[in-house]
Amino acid sequence: MIVEEDKKKEKKNENFLVDLCECHLLLKNRSSYELLSICIHCLLKAASVKEESEENQKEVEIALLTLSHIDRYYFIRQELYLKEITEIIKNHQEHRNLTQLAYQSAWEFLINRFNTNKFLEDTVSNELHFGREAARELEELTRNVNWKKKEEEMSKEEAKEVLIIKRWIETIVIYFFRCELWNEELVELIRSISYVYLAAKDDYSIISYRCIYFLRNAAKLRFVRVEDLLKGGAVEAVLEEMQRPTLKKVMTNECCQFFMNVSNRLNEKTVNKMEEVNRKATKRKVYEKLEEEGYEDIIVSF
């Protein structure tokens, strides 16, 4: 039906084709490249409409949400999507015309393409400023949520915001795992994850675990500097978790792995004299922070 509708030269029902493409991508695990190409072109066209009515915003949201579900291991030629998705993201940055879920979904679709296209790193990091944008969105969403409520007590809108926070965290995890390009906005991303952890730690174990999991893995990535972890509040967040009275084994493991990764990084010597001076200075800062927060007492208490 999708192929037949797409081939029509006259009387093509665009809305019907959008509905078909959304159903296909949301319900099928696998798709032929022909069908995938038609669906991506159709949904990006639907998501590029700039009218800001509530009804149109919802249609754009569903189109982008659907695109975000495309398996990250699909190879898709960048000429099929890059210009359109870049324009959608840039237009939102200028006019704020997308819903929060639509904007997150646009980024997720793009970052899922990292698996098969490493050349996207510079576009995503330096042209579209993923770090800055994701950090701002995540912190704004976190401020809007009443974290003292249980999820089952939340309104529909509040529950949706928690869902979007979860999606942002997973997108940021993928970004860190697939991108090896450092820029100063990484500190903002780390700070935003630490901020979410501190807000969610009491009653939202899934979110708080994913935050600590992210920080543990970030600590061992070569392009993330230990100084970035300090500036981003990662050390404080992990120490906060370690001092909780009901610390679970899995969280104990993640926290200890974080400090093992940091320790390994700080003990790696370099032949570059300037880098070695910086490493030693960072090492002093980390040890001072650990001493200040009572890290040795925490370890002994285990």
pLDDT in tens, 35-84: 999 999 999 999 998 777 888 999 999 999 999 999 888 889 999 999 99
Structure confidence at residue 271 as a pLDDT band (50, 70, 90): low
What pLDDT, in 10s, does the model give residues 101-148?
999 999 999 999 988 887 899 999 999 999 999 999 999 999 999 998
pTM of the full structure: 0.90
What pLDDT, in 10s, does the model give residues 158-183?
899 999 999 999 999 999 988 888 88
Average of per-residue pLDDT values in the chain: 90
Judged on CB neighbours under 10 Å (0-12, 13-18, 19+), 49 is: middle
Does position 282 have pLDDT exceeding 90, yes or no? no
Q: How many residues does the chain have?
A: 302
pLDDT reported for residue 245: 77
Count other Cβ atoms within 10 Å, centred on residue 114.
18
In angstroms, the CA 168 to CA 190 distance is 13
Residue type at 126 in one-letter notation:
N
Q: What share of the chain is helix, strand, coil (3-state, %, to 5)?
A: 75, 0, 25
| Greatest C-alpha distance within the chain | 75
